[in-house]
Amino acid sequence: MRIEKYANPARFLSLQKSVQPWLTGSAVVLIVVGLYLGLVVAPPDYQQGETVRIMFIHVPAAWTAMMTYTFMAACSIVAIVMRHPLADMAAKAAAPFGAVFAFLALATGSLWGKPMWGTWWVWDARLTSTFVLFLLYLGYIAVWQAIEEPSRAAAIARIVAIVGFINVPIIKFSVDWWHSLHQGESVFRMGGPTIYPTILWPLLVMGLGYTVMFAALEFSALRTEVLARRIRQMEIAEAQGS
């Protein structure tokens, strides 16, 4: 089965109707289990105490914010190269969720930073680059809001998504490239994770839960975007015929 067949809006709507309940249900189960493991089962950290539990919200939010922007950039490249009709719509639908994840990462990072660093905010390399990611999301959304002609808005939005993607590896490697108060990579690293399984497993479950939640939200929002575009096309055809 070729995935390209679902670039057809009608086929996508059929697929979305079938998988939406499974995605939504899986996301709820994963997040509930992850929160239980992280907030109830996991022990306090020997240095951070109960504050470590913010990690189970903060880290998956940061992961998903970067993943979402990567998805948007990939969709924009597909829209340019392959002209898939759903690519621009998929990127547009994802942007508000990415902005929420980025904001959640920044907010929970501040809550975590206050007891650990003694301040709500520092212009740390990773914090600053994550803030830039949040601004990129807002800029991308603003392009679609400010430009009424859909094809022109899509063309400019693609550039924003693709050029802005350079910030994603900057976020990822900022703690290695510059002196940073932020801790280094402790999960996906050469030599394996450096945190205890009692912390690692809830973190991984929450990360998977956020990912599936994004997929569920994206499918639902993309369905809305497809139907909205159909309505616009019908209105244009009706106006031209009158």
For the segment 225-242, the average pLDDT, to the nearest whole number, is 69
Cα–Cα–Cα angle for 227, 27, 212, rounded to 5 degrees:
70
Of 55-59, 97-101, 181-185, 219-223, the range with the lowest mean pLDDT is 181-185
Note down the domain range covering 87: 22-177+194-241
Quickly count: other Cβ atoms within 10 Å of residue 104's Cβ: 18
49 φ/ψ angles, rounded to the nearest 5 degrees: 65, -140
Residue 3 resides in a domain: no
Render pLDDT for 70-112 as a digit per residue (tens, 0 to 9): 999 999 999 999 888 789 999 999 999 999 999 999 999 888 7
Residue 2 resides in a domain: no
Q: pLDDT at position 3, please?
A: 45
Residue 221 resides in a domain: yes
Q: pLDDT at position 86, please?
A: 85
For the segment 29-47, the average pLDDT, to the nearest whole number, is 85
Render pLDDT for 154-208 as a digit per residue (tens, 0 to 9): 999 999 999 999 999 998 887 666 665 566 555 555 455 556 677 888 889 999 9
How high is the mean pLDDT of the chain? 83
Residue 132 resides in a domain: yes
* CATH number for position 44: 1.20.120
Residue 200 resides in a domain: yes
Q: pLDDT at position 52, please?
A: 77
Q: pLDDT at position 88, please?
A: 92
Q: Is the pLDDT of residue 7 over 90?
A: no
Number of domains comprising the chain:
1
Q: Is the pLDDT of residue 42 over 90?
A: no
Interacting residues of 173 by C-beta distance below 8 A, sequence separation 6+: none
Angstrom distance (rounded) from CA 34 to CA 203:
7
Q: pLDDT at position 74, please?
A: 96
Q: At what angle do helices 150-164 and 55-81 cross, to 10 degrees?
A: 120
Q: pLDDT at position 1, please?
A: 41
Cα–Cα–Cα angle for 134, 136, 141, rounded to 5 degrees:
100
Q: pLDDT at position 30, please?
A: 96
Per residue, the 3-state secondary structure of 162-221, as one string, reads: HHHCCHHHHHHHHHHHCCCCCCCCCCCCCCCCCCCHHHHHHHHHHHHHHHHHHHHHHHHH
Q: Is 145 exposed, middle or buried (0-12, 13-18, 19+ CB in 10 A)?
A: exposed
Residue 11 resides in a domain: no
Residue 10 resides in a domain: no
Q: Is the pLDDT of residue 53 over 50?
A: yes
Of 48-57, 167-176, 233-242, the range with the lowest mean pLDDT is 233-242
Nearest to 183 by CA among 112, 104, 111: 112
Q: At what angle do helices 55-81 and 167-177 cross, to 10 degrees?
A: 140
Q: How confident is the model at residue 55 (pLDDT cuts 50, 70, 90)?
A: confident
Q: pLDDT at position 148, please?
A: 85
Nearest to 202 by CA among 48, 44, 31, 49: 31
Residue 183 resides in a domain: no
Interacting residues of 226 by C-beta distance below 8 A, sequence separation 6+: 9, 12, 13, 86, 89
Do residues 70 and 168 touch, judged by C-beta distance below 8 A?
yes
Do residues 165 and 157 touch, judged by C-beta distance below 8 A?
no
